[in-house]
Chain A
């Protein structure tokens, strides 16, 4: 990965000559690095705290010490020993992957159409799609439930997934990024005899790969953490997603915080993996854009 980074960076060093300037630059670079790194460590302090709490017995939870006096992995074994956990994990994974693929495809398609085609009603369609971001999910849940019931989607994967197969967020994001793609490229492809679908898929899409990667991360995350709709649409424990399953560590009056923290720590891991996979594309995409541009 490091080698890619180097390939990507414009070698601004060439601008400067003279060793004193260089060392001052290096000093500046180091301060920049140190500040960013320090800020990053501050950013994850609450998460360190979360992990620390997940390694505590209930009696120590409220002591709020960072390093547990008596560390234990009991909470992890408790959560993982529950056979249903794996089922929930797989459910979440399947749902998140399919929804992500679908949303990335359709959002890019719609975003492209709204950005690159001139047609009457374009702005209206854009605003209409954008406006779907403006209703809280809580108000949509009941109509969706009735809809699912009449279509027989209750307690199915499709039932959990359908509201998320396209997102206004992704459409808006992709539309903005397609704006950075010069029209000349598309025109050249048109002259080469590609049809519009091919132009989109073969020419435009590779140019916005950083945005696609970012979108994939966000959509995956959104589905991975979705709570209220999966809760409403599922009936059987086997169909629960991870957040729904993990939410049962609380009841009417009490919440087992050490278990909540454990669940949160465990369910953050897959998203971290997805992030690490996709963040490489955020870089690689630029190499291509750089070459073509």
Chain B
């Protein structure tokens, strides 16, 4: 105790930080970092899950980078990110911002937006698959047909399939982002708004000068987290293209689906680990760039 009392304030902070972090750090090292390290080692090996592991050097990586399917998948993965993150963030912000100002049936409306996030991805993907069917079955195409618009191939087209799958993913994740934005909006101390009210500034100014700057931590979180989410997209693609995973002609296949396929259909664990390492690197680089760009000045 005396030892503790002799410490400077900043030294005390360090001590407390590690008291807070001791157990969690142990947890992360054993439960998370160890298996991750394992995947890194595995990426230099050949292993079919059943037999022995065998070192093959860089062979897995060489194979990966010379595989045209990988580059296609690489491109798809970034398409999900580039289209998905901005669209879902803008939509969810608009919804959260307005929902925040609505009183009548507020809780009910919020629940409506959140429900898709709570429902089983398998069940929902099936419903969406049927929505996308051609006439006479598909809901969307029937709708278009009733306006005399010729039908659109959604999931069976190499160009439309990815946005179609993405729409389902954005839909499913929207509620999550709305809730986080709501929590962020509600965490802004009211005193700021009161001050603004006294000054009589316009709604637009309040939005751009107070709300958005004060939401920055929330926005940083959502940008980084949903980017990770879109780069790791799997459930919706897997379940919506269940008969032809990632198809047609690999046009919807993201990296995680490639990993899944290599690991659990091909049982080529080393190759899957190499793909995992590539995914890890992409995610880390993208997250670090985003954190740097969004850093408070």
Cα distance A138–B259 in the bound complex, in angstroms = 8
Residue of A nearest to B188 (CB): A180
The residues of B that contact A166 with a CB separation of less than 8 Å are 24, 27-28
Residue of B nearest to A9 (CB): B103
**Would you give the shortest CB distance from B17 to chain A, in whole angstroms?**
4
Counting from the closest, the 4 A-B pairs by CB-CB distance are A293-B189, A40-B112, A264-B123, A143-B35
Docked-complex contact B21 and A210, CB < 8 angstroms: no
Docked-complex contact B217 and A113, CB < 8 angstroms: no
Cα distance A197–B113 in the bound complex, in angstroms = 37
Docked-complex contact B276 and A32, CB < 8 angstroms: no
Cα distance A12–B196 in the bound complex, in angstroms = 11
Provide the B206-246 mask, 1 if CB < 8 A to any CB of A, else 0.
Answer: 00000000100110110011001000101000000000000
**Would you give the shortest CB distance from A20 to chain B, in whole angstroms?**
18
With A10-B194, A290-B189 as known contacts, state yes or no: A33 contacts B104, CB within 8 Å.
yes
Docked-complex contact B17 and A122, CB < 8 angstroms: yes
Docked-complex contact A272 and B111, CB < 8 angstroms: yes
The residues of B that contact A118 with a CB separation of less than 8 Å are 10, 13
**Would you give the shortest CB distance from A286 to chain B, in whole angstroms?**
4
Cα distance A257–B125 in the bound complex, in angstroms = 12
**Would you give the shortest CB distance from B23 to chain A, in whole angstroms?**
8
- Indicate whether A73 reaches chain B with its CB closer than 8 angstroms: no
Q: Tell me which of A74-82, A84-92, A104-112 binds B.
A: A104-112
Q: Tell me which of B54-62, B64-72, B145-153, B282-290 binds A.
A: B282-290
Candidates B14, B119, B187, B200; contact of A50 at CB < 8 Å: B119
Candidates A33, A163, A210; contact of B183 at CB < 8 Å: A210
Candidates A112, A172, A243, A275; contact of B224 at CB < 8 Å: A172
- Per DSSP, chain B at the interface is helix
| Seed contacts A44-B115, A46-B171, A177-B217; 19 additional CB < 8 Å A-B pairs | A10-B190, A36-B102, A37-B112, A40-B112, A41-B112, A44-B112, A46-B119, A64-B137, A119-B18, A131-B36, A131-B280, A132-B28, A134-B287, A166-B27, A173-B221, A177-B184, A268-B118, A272-B118, A282-B179
Cα distance A225–B276 in the bound complex, in angstroms = 23
Docked-complex contact B130 and A177, CB < 8 angstroms: no
With A10-B194, A134-B283 as known contacts, state yes or no: A46 contacts B18, CB within 8 Å.
no
With A10-B190, A166-B28 as known contacts, state yes or no: A275 contacts B276, CB within 8 Å.
no
Candidates A110, A139, A208, A283; contact of B259 at CB < 8 Å: A139
Docked-complex contact B128 and A10, CB < 8 angstroms: no
The residues of B that contact A282 with a CB separation of less than 8 Å are 179, 182-183, 186
With A46-B128, A165-B27 as known contacts, state yes or no: A6 contacts B103, CB within 8 Å.
yes
Residue of A nearest to B273 (CB): A139
- In this complex, how many residues of chain A approach chain B with their Cβ under 8 Å: the count is 101
- Indicate whether B122 reaches chain A with its CB closer than 8 angstroms: yes
The residues of B that contact A10 with a CB separation of less than 8 Å are 190, 193-194, 197
- Per DSSP, chain A at the interface is helix
Cα distance A19–B182 in the bound complex, in angstroms = 31
Provide the B249-284 mask, 1 if CB < 8 A to any CB of A, else 0.
Answer: 000000010011001100001001100100110011
Cα distance A268–B20 in the bound complex, in angstroms = 35
- B-contacting residues, A112-135, CB 8 Å: 112-113, 117-120, 122, 125, 127-135
Docked-complex contact B225 and A169, CB < 8 angstroms: yes
The residues of B that contact A283 with a CB separation of less than 8 Å are 186
**Would you give the shortest CB distance from A162 to chain B, in whole angstroms?**
7
Candidates A1, A40, A272; contact of B113 at CB < 8 Å: A40
Docked-complex contact A134 and B228, CB < 8 angstroms: yes
- Indicate whether A154 reaches chain B with its CB closer than 8 angstroms: no
With A131-B280, A132-B28 as known contacts, state yes or no: A213 contacts B183, CB within 8 Å.
yes
Docked-complex contact B13 and A119, CB < 8 angstroms: yes
Residue of A nearest to B139 (CB): A64
- Indicate whether B114 reaches chain A with its CB closer than 8 angstroms: yes
Docked-complex contact A225 and B120, CB < 8 angstroms: yes
**Would you give the shortest CB distance from A31 to chain B, in whole angstroms?**
10
Candidates B104, B111, B194, B259; contact of A136 at CB < 8 Å: B259
The residues of A that contact B6 with a CB separation of less than 8 Å are none
- B-contacting residues, A228-271, CB 8 Å: 243, 257, 260-261, 263-264, 267-268, 271
